[in-house]
Amino acid sequence: MIALGSFDWKTFFNYLVFPDSVTWWAILTTVGVAVAAQVFGVIFGVISALMQMSKSRILRFLAGAYVWFFRGTPVIIQIFFMYFGAALFLGFDPFPPHAHLVFITVPGAILAGTAALAINEGAYMSEIVRAGIAAVDKGQMEAALTVGMTRGQGMRRIVLPQAGRVIMPPLGNEFNNMLKTTALLNFIGVKEIFFDAETRISSTFKYPEFLAGAAVLYLILTTLWGFVQKRIENKFNESDRDHAVDMPSFASRLLGGTRKPTLADETTMAIGGHE
């Protein structure tokens, strides 16, 4: 069936240029799951990072164990465990075929998959957020304390917004990864882009056409995200645009240019003031 050199361009272009409603839903699912998983991943990451920096030994241990476990095991196993294994531990199935979220109903697989990706992502974000907070000069929190803020207020108002500038570039890369990692949810039956391509392959046997088509869809999503990321980073850098915390150009990032490893140090210097 599959003869090399007989790539069916028409099928390929049709898939990309005239996606049917099923494909649109698949794209929407991929984006929706990725965004939701990333948002919760960041939330878990911030919580975990703060726990790791807390004075309480128990909180530090719990956060450390979380990061250790979820970074140390394959995400695909975590996804399977979440979807098929959660019922074993809970005694009821938290992910039924039609799960009711506050005002919408979604397939349980999407819920389980998003939860698994979010928890996994939180472990990676934890380290990124921690590095971002550590890059903010200690004097910043002290200044917050001296005007009467509590540590919590100083963290929210003073430290985290500055850490954000350091966190944003790796966070962008994490979301780029997330967009592609959602393809794994195909294995628990989430109808995302890869699932959509596979479905079409199984009925047409046009492997390369639909695989390439799916790849291009992911490429479009990650490229669009690249533009958004750039805008967000510019916004974060508004306050010291003239200090030129060197950000790589969009093109260099797109083409795999390396990020300056000294970004965090430079930001610390910018924050620390003169000398």
Angle between helices 207-236 and 160-181 in degrees, nearest 10: 170
Q: How many of the chain's residues bind other proteins (CB under 8 A)?
A: 30
CB 135 to other proteins: min, Å = 12
Structure tokens at 168: 């944003």
**Rounded least distance, CB 244 to other proteins, Å:** 10
Instruction: Could you list the beta-strand ranges (E) of 133-263.
Output: none
Phi first, then psi: give them for residue 37, nearest 5 degrees. Answer: -65, -40
Q: Does 235 bind other proteins (CB under 8 A)?
A: no
Residue 117 or 160 having the CB closest to other proteins:
160
Quick one: which of 13, 100, 157, 227 contacts other proteins (CB under 8 A)? 157
Which part of the chain contacts other proteins (CB under 8 A), choosing from 56-64, 88-96, 154-162, 176-184? 154-162
Alpha carbon distance 90, 104 (integer Å): 23
Residue 151 binding other proteins, by CB under 8 A: yes
- Cross-strand partners of 105: 100
Smallest CA-to-CA distance from 224 within 159, 175, 273 is with 175
Q: Which of 158, 190, 247, 263 binds other proteins (CB under 8 A)?
A: 158
For other proteins, which residue of 72, 91, 148, 261 counts as binding (CB under 8 A)? 148
Among residues 82, 72, 69, the alpha carbon closest in space to that of 37 is found at: 82
Q: Tell me whether residue 16 or residue 269 sits nearer to other proteins (CB atom).
A: 269
For 13, 18, 122, 159, 273, the CA distances from 138, given in Å and listed in that order, are 55, 55, 25, 9, 12
The site map against other proteins for 253-272 (x = CB under 8 A) is -----------------xxx
- Residue numbers of the site for other proteins (CB under 8 A)? 137, 139-140, 142-153, 157-158, 161-162, 165, 239-240, 242-243, 270-275
